[in-house]
């Protein structure tokens, strides 16, 4: 399946642009991750992908993850992994993924941000951008997310955007069980929260790829 229209999709805030990276740009994002995403003694992710940083396999694995998301794309099951640029500089990635979106109108978000760009409100702004795509662009009804217990940066972003706790899971990214707090954000809560304006560019041609043409609420 050709996903070419997705390469024209843009989400823009006052200082950020979110879009699919080119192959050359994926190298830049891999290099950014290698500069640090979190303190080495912490693991804020369900899957400990950052533990491979510093190994010969890291860059190839990083790029293959993005290629795989594109290669296996289907309207019934997709993972949109957008690069995030702040004032033209790569700062991290923001993802949204869904299964049977047309019927369920539910999607999950996840992200990472280079360590040197943290603490500037960028994480909140890029999450707000992807949620604007989900709710306002695609007619979504529910967004889900989660954070490893102790990941206060992620928790604060979710709190600012109106998420509520709906449960927890036990995960073991480094072999030791830890709690992952599960969150949801529905359309009503999203519409009630203050958030930055977001411009969505060239979405119409992408709707069939996202299973969103007939999604109620659009």
For the cut 70, the answer to whether the pLDDT of residue 216 exceeds it is no
Angle formed at CA 190 by CA 203 and CA 143, multiple of 5 degrees = 70
Which of 16, 4, 127 is CA-nearest to residue 73?
A: 4
Lowest mean pLDDT among 37-41, 47-51, 181-185, 213-217: 213-217
For the cut 90, the answer to whether the pLDDT of residue 214 exceeds it is no
Condensed to tens digits (0 to 9), the pLDDT of residues 46-87 reads 999 999 999 999 999 999 999 999 999 999 999 999 999 999
For the cut 70, the answer to whether the pLDDT of residue 218 exceeds it is no
Condensed to tens digits (0 to 9), the pLDDT of residues 118-152 reads 999 999 999 999 999 999 999 999 999 999 999 99
Cα–Cα distance, 114 to 125 (Å, whole number): 14
Residue 172: burial class (beta carbons within 10 Å; 0-12, 13-18, 19+): exposed
Domain range enclosing 140: 4-210
For residue 216, tell me if it sits in a domain.
no
For the cut 70, the answer to whether the pLDDT of residue 176 exceeds it is yes
Q: Tokens in use for 132?
A: 């604007």
For residue 106, tell me if it sits in a domain.
yes
Which of 145, 159, 147, 156 is CA-nearest to residue 193?
A: 159
- Confirm whether pTM is higher than 0.85: yes
For residue 185, tell me if it sits in a domain.
yes
For the cut 70, the answer to whether the pLDDT of residue 215 exceeds it is no
Domain with 163 in it: what CATH number?
3.40.630.30
Domain count, the chain: 1
Confidence of residue 99 (pLDDT cuts 50, 70, 90): very high
Instruction: Supply the pLDDT for residue 1.
Output: 81
For residue 215, tell me if it sits in a domain.
no
For residue 86, tell me if it sits in a domain.
yes
Q: Whole-number mean pLDDT of the chain?
A: 96
Dihedral sign, Cα of residue 190, residue 168, residue 156, residue 127? negative
């Amino acid at each position: 399946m050709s996903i070419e229209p997705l390469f024209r999709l843009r989400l823009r805030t006052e200082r950020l642009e979110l879009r699919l990276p080119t192959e050359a740009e994926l190298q830049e994002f891999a290099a950014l991750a290698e500069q640090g995403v979190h303190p080495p003694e912490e693991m804020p992710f369900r899957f400990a992908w950052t533990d491979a940083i510093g190994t010969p396999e890291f860059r190839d694995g990083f790029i293959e993850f993005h290629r795989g998301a594109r290669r296996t794309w289907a309207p019934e099951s997709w993972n949109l992994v957008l690069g995030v640029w702040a004032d033209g500089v790569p700062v991290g990635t923001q993802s949204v993924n869904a299964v049977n979106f047309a019927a369920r109108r539910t999607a999950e978000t996840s992200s990472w941000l280079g360590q040197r760009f943290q603490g500037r409100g960028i994480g909140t702004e890029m999450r707000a951008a992807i949620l604007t795509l989900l709710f306002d662009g695609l007619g979504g009804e529910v967004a889900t997310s989660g954070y490893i217990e102790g990941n206060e940066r992620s928790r604060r972003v979710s709190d600012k955007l109106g998420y509520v706790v709906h449960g927890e899971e036990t995960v073991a990214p480094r072999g030791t069980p830890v709690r992952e707090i599960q969150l949801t954000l529905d359309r009503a809560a999203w519409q009630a929260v203050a958030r930055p304006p977001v411009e969505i560019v060239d979405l119409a041609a992408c709707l069939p790829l996202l299973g969103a043409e007939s999604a109620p609420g659009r």
